[in-house]
Structure 1
Amino acid sequence: MDRQANSGVHAEVLQILGRRIAGGVVPAGAVLTLALIEDEFRVSRTVAREAVRVLEDHGMVTSKRRVGVTVNERTQWDSMNSSVIRWRLDGPQRHAQLLELMELRAAVEPAAARLASSRANRHQRSALTRLAAELEYLGATGAGRSEEYLAADIEFHRTLLQASGNSMLAQLAGPVEEILTARTNLGLVPPRPDERALRGHIDVAAGIAYGDADTAAEGAQAYIATVSLEVQIGGPGVDEPEL
């Protein structure tokens, strides 16, 4: 098997194992072995070992000689890792993961907006204004579920977090992107997004552009409150994917 093919097989094994663990199909405390992985997926020891190594890097398993590969409690997982988030979103814990991500946003984005009002550079202020206007236009034309809307939304929130001037907040762009993508893929974004959410983006951009910390923070709180309600309304009905 050539290197490229080997890489593809490794990725497939990793995705399946990651989803099983994240979904509780393989529960905490369960013990796997490289031999079992090799046998089930008909892969080489190298492929099995590499998949386990990545899962171990994510904190999902612990590998010990003479013991095997033990699945860790969720408290040990790297919960901010994009792969871990995606795997939870693909499983029966989907709604819980969505709510956790919204709680993270509620804690972080108003603070980031407040900081950005005094720290954003000219390019970031201009980009946020442009992206907020683009979201408003796309939303008004019923394109809330389009790839263009999602791309603009991701770029807006990534720019906002970066504009905070706090490198730790900027690193939260990955988890925020995951929930924005999930909301679109799950059909939780209305074709015509709530005007309060669109107005919130405009207010964030305006507050940052004019150095008004209160307006920026309140705008973030407004769109998060609206989006949180959409996620809650989606409820456990989005919790039943196939594993």
Structure 2
Amino acid sequence: MPNSLHHRAVEHVGSRIVDGSIPTGEVVLASEIETELGVSRSVVREAVRVLASAGLVVSTKRVGIRVLPPEDWNPFDPLVIRWRLASGGLGAQLRSLTELRVAVEPMAAELAAEHAPDEFCGELLNLAAQMRHAGRSGDLHTFLELDIRFHALVLAASGNEMFANLANPIGETLRGRTELGLMPERPHEEALTWHQAVADAISAHVPQDARASMEKIMRRTNQEICGVWADKPRIFPHPKH
């Protein structure tokens, strides 16, 4: 029960901050959240800790919980990603993660072809085969989970721990695209072929082929959904010292 109450408090405040219902700069009192949700001070305190770790709020003693501007939010936090996808920030969120993927994943595939351990190669080949089967049979739920695992494994196989830690935000975005109906009804045959080509190139240790095939996947992804963010303004956070 406490975990349920904690989740409810995090969702209630966090989603409202992200969709703008609680505006930047507003100060919220813990007592107000307690009364509104009927929860204890300890539940609110833990919820605020989660929101602060995501960069959404800062808690000041004897003042309250102040809402921070979007440029202070952690753009890699899965909660922030999910809330942005569910709000007016959908386009901007998809653009940010898609552009990041276009930049990073081809390099990750190249590095994986150079450095991936044998067990990673075997799993990638198995995943590619399963993706082909699930995609052709129209099992989109299974295909989604396999796709998330495939891309997470390529990132991990690069041997770069910063790349590997992009797996969760990318997975959250892929799930969000599917839930919002922004995925094709069936995966394109080309995409299935390119995933197989990535797995083959990594397993054969051919870096340039792995990079080229992943580049095709990412460019196709960008082309499919770029219309969603065509009119969305970009965020230009000032570099922090």
1:196 to 190, 204, 219: 190
Which residue does 1:63 correspond to in 2? Answer: 59
TM-score between the two structures when normalised by the length of structure 2:
0.90
Structure 2 CA distance, aligned partners of 1:220 and 1:176? 15
Amino acid at match of 1:88: R
Q: Deviations over 1:177-227 (max 9, x none)?
A: 111111221222223212222222112111111111111111111111112
Q: Could you tell me which runs of 5 or more consecutive residues in structure 2 were left unpaired when the two chains were aligned.
A: 231-241
Which residue does 1:117 correspond to in 2? Answer: 113
Verify: 1:175 aligned to 2:169, yes or no.
yes
Give the CA deviation at 1:107: 1.1
Structure 2 CA distance, aligned partners of 1:74 and 1:91? 13
Give the CA deviation at 1:167: 1.0
- Is the Cα contact below 8 Å between 1:197 and 1:227 reproduced in 2? no
Q: Could you tell me which runs of 5 or more consecutive residues in structure 1 were left unpaired when the two chains were aligned.
A: 237-243
Which residue does 1:154 correspond to in 2? Answer: 148
Structure 2 CA distance, aligned partners of 1:108 and 1:52? 32
- Is the Cα contact below 8 Å between 2:108 and 2:158 reproduced in 1? yes
Which residue does 1:239 correspond to in 2? Answer: none
Alpha-carbon RMSD across the aligned residues, in angstroms, is 1.5
Which residue does 1:106 correspond to in 2? Answer: 102
Q: Deviations over 1:95-141 (max 9, x none)?
A: 21111111111111001001001111111111111111221222222
Which 4+ stretches in 1 moved above 3 angstroms?
233-236
1:90 to 83, 86, 89: 86
Which residue does 2:73 correspond to in 1? Answer: 77
Give the CA deviation at 1:234: 5.0
1:210 to 197, 200, 204: 204
Which residue does 1:40 correspond to in 2? Answer: 36
Give the CA deviation at 1:77: 1.4
Which residue does 1:241 correspond to in 2? Answer: none
- Is the Cα contact below 8 Å between 1:200 and 1:220 reproduced in 2? yes
